[in-house]
Amino acid sequence: MDYQDNLIYVGVDLHKEHHTAVMIDDRNRKLGEIQFLNKPAAFPKLLQEVKKHTKKGMKAVYGLEDIGGNGRALAVFLAESNCWVKEVNPVLSTARRKSHVTVQKSDSWDAECVARVLRDELEKLPDAKPMDLYWALSQLVTQRRSLVKNQTAQNQKLHQQLSYHYPSYKQFFSQVDGKTALSFWKKYPSPRHLAGVTEEELAQYLRKWSNYCLSDKKAAQILALIKEDGDTTRDFQEKRDFIVQSLVRNIRFNQIELARIEGEIKELMAGLGFQLETMTGIDLVTAAELVAEIGDIHRFSTPEKLARFAGIAPIFAGSGGKGRNYKSKQGNRVLHEIIKGIAIRQIAVTRGKKEPRNPYFYSYYEQKLEAGKTKQQAIVCIMRKLVNVIHYLMRTKAAYEMPTVSEKQAG
């Protein structure tokens, strides 16, 4: 008798205010259903309901789609209650719901679809281990991502405003949001604030904020460009000047907060002891993003399971004895994109000498192209190899060692 005959499958549809759980047996027969509030005091009701349908010698396994958001508290409760909990990819349960003859949409049906995926994909699904360390890291990474997005939006708005005031502003500084540039925009949000300012006075101001990297030549260049642009002053200019100064304040605040968040991330990562940054194309932030999405690496006993979780393992589709592998659109798409970014950086070359940053993966990439793979297919091949490397580095906490490339491979 298959050990799965002794299991009942509990799928949970998670929401901010309440959750809905549906229990099924190994034949997909619905055993029961319960709705309960999303708060620790209500969670024991779920265990009590499941116990009613758990016969002697049987065991329940729970499937949750989101163990970092709305389902976090329930996942922690179930883990602390020594329950068997699996993380179910939302893509799988959504596909299951849409594959039904009559497409339904209700909390009850969504929970049942989670239970059905749990039953059919049990061996492939990772265990849910909601550890506070990984959760805190995930929250920090999410907050940083939000700040970066906001910073990009603020920079775009600053570019737009400066184009009205200083048509040649892009020639003033190498970075519009650099330390010296921001100080300049704040003090001189439009050319009218430079009226009467001499070249020496401006040079002295630039020297102060650039640690003497910019001075007389830059001051002369800026004043000359402003003169060439002509008069840009318009009615209500002081209001538009305020907008520039407001954007500068927001950008500076974001820069400070980003530095603080990255400091907190660095502290947590140091405690974990990984050495992912020793690999080409992985800095502290990228390493933290990887760890935040993967969580406890021991959830994945093999690289294959991690690849499947990231949606990198190919999917075979065939009929009549013929078939082919297709790119998977399932899995954790955030993790998928992180690994894709790392893969692309493996085949990058240095700007000056045009030497590959990672000769091993660059050689592997060229081999795949010569074998008839497209560029995108070759990158997917690199991603799959990277999963093996990442899995090993996280399980062993070892440093990355660049594989040697023979002359034959390099040629």
Whether 160 and 254 share a structural domain: yes
Integer CA distances (angstroms), 35 to 44, 81, 228, 330, in order:
12, 19, 70, 28
Whether 312 and 233 share a structural domain: no
pLDDT (tens place) for every residue of the chain, 411 residues total: 455 668 999 999 999 999 999 999 999 999 999 999 999 999 999 999 999 999 888 999 999 998 878 999 999 999 999 999 999 988 888 888 877 655 567 899 999 999 999 999 998 899 988 888 999 999 999 999 999 999 999 999 999 999 999 999 999 999 999 999 999 999 999 999 999 999 999 999 999 999 989 889 999 999 999 999 999 999 999 999 999 999 999 999 999 999 999 999 999 999 999 999 999 999 999 999 999 999 999 999 999 999 999 999 765 544 455 545 556 677 899 999 999 999 999 999 988 788 899 999 999 999 999 999 999 999 999 999 999 999 999 999 999 999 887 655 554
Whether 383 and 279 share a structural domain: yes
| Res 94: pLDDT | 85
The CATH number assigned to the domain holding 70 equals 3.30.420.10
The parent domain of residue 333 ranges over: 273-410
Whether 125 and 51 share a structural domain: yes
Whether 124 and 173 share a structural domain: no
* Structural domains of the chain, count: 3
| Res 1: pLDDT | 43
| Res 351: pLDDT | 82
Whether 354 and 404 share a structural domain: yes
Q: Which residues contact 159 (CB under 8 A, 6 or more apart)?
A: 176
Whether 263 and 286 share a structural domain: no
Whether 397 and 309 share a structural domain: yes
Whether 125 and 174 share a structural domain: no
CA angle 125, 130, 134 (to 5 degrees): 110
| Res 326: pLDDT | 54
Residue 209 identity? W
Whether 82 and 99 share a structural domain: yes
Whether 259 and 358 share a structural domain: no
Domain termination site, one of 268, 293, 311: 268
Domain termination site, one of 268, 287, 311: 268
DSSP SS3 for 216:
helix
Here the contacts of 133-137 (C-beta below 8 Å, separation 24 or greater) are 133/268, 133/271, 133/272, 134/291, 134/292, 134/295, 134/296, 135/68, 135/72, 136/268, 137/265, 137/268, 137/269, 137/288, 137/291, 137/292
Domain termination site, one of 77, 105, 130: 130
Whether 259 and 146 share a structural domain: yes
The CATH number assigned to the domain holding 253 equals 1.10.287
